[in-house]
Amino acid sequence: MKQNKDAKITNQRSKSESNQNGLKKLKQPNYDFHKTRKDGVKKDILYHIEKWNQYQENSKEIKNFYKDLEQDHSFIQWIFPNFFNSMFNSDSYRLTIEERNQMIEDNDIMRFYISNYKMFLRFLGIKWNNEKLELENKNQFNICLQINTHNQLRLRRVLASLSVLGQRKLAIQLLDFIYKECNKLYGTQYYLYDLVQEEQQKYQIDFQSQQDYQDLQQIKQQEKIEKINIDQSAMKSKMIQDPPIKQQDNKQGIGGHSIKEIQQKQGFNKVEKEQQKGLEEIKLEDKTKSNFKNQNSLANKQFLIQKKPNYLHGKYDRAQLLFNFDEVKNNYVQGDLLDKTWVTINLLSNKKVDIQQQ
């Protein structure tokens, strides 16, 4: 009896030690996965991680590759950790700032991480060719992002993960590609991940400062006003050059004016009212933008949604420098982390972020 009791106590101690070791291991699960390259993801996904760059187009292997990555919903959180808890994989873990700082300084981990990024690009039908992105399989690209739309959420995770794990340039490069190949998705789903105002000196971009961007908006608005004025002048000129023909029967007119004169005058007044309405809308837009500058952007999310890239001639403009980091940081860290002192523009750099006590 005593031996059985001792054995039972020993087993309980072993289980307790095992659980404690497990808890210790879970303190850095994302770092551990990228370091050991095991656990977390299924065997068939691990196989693809090792072999994906050997698959030939239209082969059985590449078809299985597409199918497995499409149907498995548990690998993406492990190979692209970020500062969000997953709603689809409760066995994954949110990235910690300590893990982030260690991972970006470990060259072996970052090589593995970037290799997995290239693998995911191929799943999307995109080829990594000498550090340039090319559309290799348009059909696969459309299937992933137009038909199987859950991949749009995956792409959000990828952009956020790349940005906070020292690979911001890769995130911006991918945004460039999406902007060109699938402009609508960029303008409706991903523009909030574009370069922020604090990054203007670090990257070569079209607008060298936010002032340049504002100047461009003013030019476009001025063009609208000029177009209205031109239309108005053209209408007046036409009335002068083409005077109304008097009706022989004055009974058809009112106050000595023919019916044609009255119709022309009414038509001109209608155009004039529409043009005035257009000017008032432009003034209201300017006033709204001015008010926004004096408000806390996070407290005014409704307006932030309205602050979008211009949509002209069926195409969205780039949103570079449209926002500052504080306005879009909720796309990089979850809500309960927004007040942490380390959530600054430095999070989008490839350097360690100082962790201050809260």
Any residues with CB less than 8 A from the CB of 121 and at least 6 apart, and which?
A: 127, 128, 133, 174
pLDDT of residue 267: 56
**Which residues does the chain have with pLDDT short of 50?**
2, 5, 7-10, 12-24, 206-211, 213, 245-251, 288-305, 357-358
Any residues with CB less than 8 A from the CB of 357 and at least 6 apart, and which?
A: none
Per residue, the 3-state secondary structure of the chain, as one string, reads CHHHHHHHHHHHHHHHHHHHHHHHHCCCHHHHHHHHCCCCCCHHHHHHHHHHHHCCCCCHHHHHHHHHHHHCCCCHHHHCCCECCCCCCCCCCCCCHHHHHHHCCCHHHHHHHHHHHHHHHHHCCEEEECCEEEECCHHHHHHHHHHCCHHHHHHHHHHHHHHHCCCHHHHHHHHHHHHHHCHHHHHHHHHHHCCCHHHCCCCCCCCCCHHHHHHHHHHHHHHHHHHHHHHHHHHHHHHHHCCCCCCCCHHHCECCECHHHHHHHHHHHHHHHHHHHHHHHHHHHHHHHHHHHCCCHHHCHHHHHHCCCCEECCEECCCCCCCCHHHHHHHCECHHHCCCCCCCHHHHCCCCCCCCCC
Any residues with CB less than 8 A from the CB of 317 and at least 6 apart, and which?
A: 309, 310, 311
Pair type for strands 132-135 and 126-129: antiparallel
Furthest C-alpha separation in the chain:
128
Q: Name the pTM for this structure.
A: 0.69
Using alpha carbons, select from 118, 124, 106 the residue that is nearest to residue 30: 106
Chain centroid to Cα 97, Å, comes to 22
Phi, psi of 229, deg, nearest 5: -65, -40
pLDDT of residue 203: 75
Contact between 27 and 95 under an 8 Å Cβ cutoff? The reply is: no
pLDDT of residue 282: 56
For residue 355, give both structure tokens.
Answer: 């962790």
Q: Which position has the token pair 């209201």?
A: 284
| Cα three-residue angle 262-267-272, rounded to 5 degrees | 125
The separation between the first and the last C-alpha atoms of the chain, rounded to the nearest angstrom, is 54
pLDDT of residue 19: 40
